[in-house]
Amino acid sequence: MPYDPAVPLSPGFVEQVPAFLAGDDTPRDLLERCIAVIETRESDVQAFVTLNLEGARAAADAAGARYKARAPRSLVDGLPIGLKDIIETADMPTQCGSPIYEGNETGRDAPLTAALRRGGAVIVGKTASTEFAYGNVMATCNPFDPNRTPGTSSSGSAAAVGAGMLPVAIGTQLMSSVMRPASYCGQVGVKPTYGAIRQAGIHPFSPSGEHVGAHTAKLADAWAVLRFLSNEAGPVPGSHGIAGPETLPPAEKPARLMRMYTPGWDIADGSVRAAFEAGLDRLSNAGVEIIEPAGVPELQALEDDFARADWCIAEIAAFEMRWPFFEYEAAGHTHHPRIAKALARAHEITLADYHTALDFKAAFGARVRAASETIDGVVGLTAPEVAPVGLENIGNPVTCSPATCAGAPSLTLPLLAADDMPLGLQLIGFHGEDARLFGQAAWVEEVFG
C-alpha cells in the first residue's frame, strides 16, 4: 500500500491509557486488536520468529485487573510489545537469527525483559533479526511493499510496528539498525544516548557501540518505554540513564539546526532529495535557522568527520567481536559474508589499530558535544534512500552512523515520503540531552501537522 505520512500507522499506547482507567477499554481488548492484525498480516510480513499469545493474554488480563483497581504498575502496564530475537526471554527461545542457536532456551530474562515484566508490559513475541544482528537476513518483508527490505538487523521490530501489529517493539543499533528500518517502515525510531539502557542478556557484537532502541507508532510511546527501561533495567553500569518527566517532554522549538549531508547526500536520488528539501523548507518557514556546515569551519570539520563514522564503528567492532565469534569459528561454524568480512578483519586488527579507532571516536564525540555551543541539534535524512527492492539489499547506514559513533541521541520521524514509500527525517541531539531531543521532535511533529 502506498505510504502517506499524514495517515498514522495505528493508535499509540500512551493515548489509550485513560480509556483503561475509565473502563472504556482494556489491555486485553488492545492485545486482541493487535493479534487480529498479526493473524491478517504475519503470513506476508513475517515479522516474528516466536509468538507467545497465551502468555501475552495472561499478562494483559493481569494488567486489566490492575487498571480496574486503578493501580497500574507503570506507564507501560498493559503495553503489547515485541523484543528483537537477540534479547533473552525466559519463556521463549533466543535464537539470534542463527542456526547455532536454533531452539536455544536460556531460561532467563535479560534485564530489559525483566524490567518490562515488572512494569506489567505484555510481551507478545520475539521479532526477526538478521544473523547476530549483522549477517544473513530473515524472510521479513517491508509492510508497505513485500518486494522491498524492511531494513537491517531490527527488521522484525520495524516491520511489526509498520504493519500495525504492535504499538512498540525493541531493537538494537550498532550502525543504523533501529533508525534505518524505522525510516523504511514508516515509524518513530529512537536510539538514545549510548549507555542509557543496560545491554546484559543481549548477544554481543561490539558492546562499546551497541545501543538499545525502540520502534513505535507514536513519539510519546518511545519516550515512555525508553525512559522506563533506563530507570528500571538501568543504564550500562557506569553510565547515566535517561532523565526527564514520565510523559513526553513539552514541545521545544530548536532555534538553529545544522544540516547534515554525509556521503549519503551524494547517493540520494532526486525524489529523496526533493522530499528532504521540502521538509527543511517547512522548518525554515516555521522560524528554524538551518545552518549550512560549509559556512562555519568547526561545523564543516564535524561534517567531514561524519564520513569516517562507518569506518570507526566497523574497526572497533572487528576487535570487540573476537569473543564469541572466534569460538564459533573454532567450532566449525560459518557465517554470512557480512560477518565473514568482519571476522577476517578481526584476525588482522591489532590493539594499536583498536586504540586508533577509539581515539577517533572519543575526539569525534567531544566535537559533537562542543557543537552544542553553536547549534541546537542536527537535521538530516535518516537514510539516503527509501527501502530498496530485494530482501538482501538492506540499504546504506551512512546517515545514521555519525550519531551512533558519537553516542549522541538520535531519532527518526515518519514525516516524509518518496516514491510512495516512507522516508524518515532524522534529528540528532547531544549526549545526555535525550529529553530535549524529544521536546524538539514533538515541536517538529506539530510543524508538520
pLDDT in tens, 146-196: 999 999 899 999 999 999 999 999 999 999 999 999 999 999 999 999 999
* All three cell numbers of 158: 520495524
- Residue 229 pLDDT > 90, yes or no? yes
CA neighbor of 213 nearest in space, from 412, 74, 14: 412
pLDDT in tens, 82-111: 999 999 999 999 999 999 999 999 999 999
The span from the CA of 134 to the CA of 150, in Å, is 14
- Residue 336 pLDDT > 80, yes or no? yes
6-15, 198-207, 351-360: segment of lowest average pLDDT: 6-15
Note the pLDDT of residue 352: 98
Q: Is beta strand 377-381 parallel, antiparallel or unpaired with respect to 256-259?
A: parallel
The span from the CA of 158 to the CA of 183, in Å, is 9
Report the phi/psi class of residue 198: left, alpha or beta, with left for phi > 0 and alpha for psi in -120 to 50: beta
pLDDT in tens, 190-216: 999 999 999 999 999 999 999 999 999
- The single-letter DSSP state of residue 156 is H
Contacts of 157 (CB under 8 A, 6+ apart): 47, 82, 83, 84, 127, 169, 170, 171, 178, 181, 215
Note the pLDDT of residue 307: 95
- Residue 373 pLDDT > 80, yes or no? yes
Note the pLDDT of residue 375: 98
CA neighbor of 414 nearest in space, from 2, 4, 3, 5: 5
CA neighbor of 212 nearest in space, from 232, 229, 224: 229
Between residues 6 and 81, the one the model is more confident about: 81
- Mean pLDDT (the chain) is 97
69-73, 133-137, 366-370, 413-417: segment of lowest average pLDDT: 133-137
Question: 377 by DSSP, 3-state: which?
Answer: strand
Amino acid (one-letter) located at 279? G
- The single-letter DSSP state of residue 202 is B
- How many Å is the Cα radius of gyration of the chain? 20
- Residue 38 pLDDT > 80, yes or no? yes
- The single-letter DSSP state of residue 412 is E
The span from the CA of 33 to the CA of 144, in Å, is 20
Mean pLDDT of 327-339: 95
Q: Is beta strand 80-84 parallel, antiparallel or unpaired with respect to 168-173?
A: parallel
Note the pLDDT of residue 347: 98
Q: Is beta strand 122-127 parallel, antiparallel or unpaired with respect to 48-51?
A: antiparallel
User: In this structure, is the dihedral angle defined by the CA atoms of residues 166, 168, 170 and 175, taken in order, positive or negative?
Assistant: positive
- Residue 426 pLDDT > 90, yes or no? yes
Mean pLDDT of 221-228: 98
Contact at 8 Å (CB) between 328 and 100?
A: yes
CA neighbor of 98 nearest in space, from 85, 84, 83, 87: 85
In the chain, where are the structural domains located?
A: 14-249
- Residue 9 pLDDT > 80, yes or no? no
Note the pLDDT of residue 1: 67
The span from the CA of 440 to the CA of 249, in Å, is 9
- Residue 252 pLDDT > 70, yes or no? yes
* All three cell numbers of 350: 591489532
Whole-angstrom CA distances from 131 to 98, 155, 256 are 5, 11, 40
pLDDT in tens, 48-78: 999 999 999 999 999 999 999 999 999 999 9
Whole-angstrom CA distances from 6 to 19, 60, 117, 384, 417 are 24, 30, 34, 21, 10
Note the pLDDT of residue 204: 96
- Residue 333 pLDDT > 80, yes or no? yes
Burial 345-374 (b: 16+ CB within 10 A, else e): ebeebeeeeeeebeebbeebbeebbebeee
The per-residue DSSP string of 86-134 comes to TB-BTTB---TTSGGGTT---SS--HHHHHHHHTT-EEEEEEP--GGGT
pLDDT in tens, 284-320: 999 999 999 999 999 999 999 999 999 999 999 999 9
The proportion of the chain whose per-residue pLDDT surpasses 90, expressed as a percent, equals 96
| CATH architecture for the domain at 14-249 | Alpha-Beta Complex (3.90)
The span from the CA of 70 to the CA of 35, in Å, is 25
* All three cell numbers of 56: 501475552
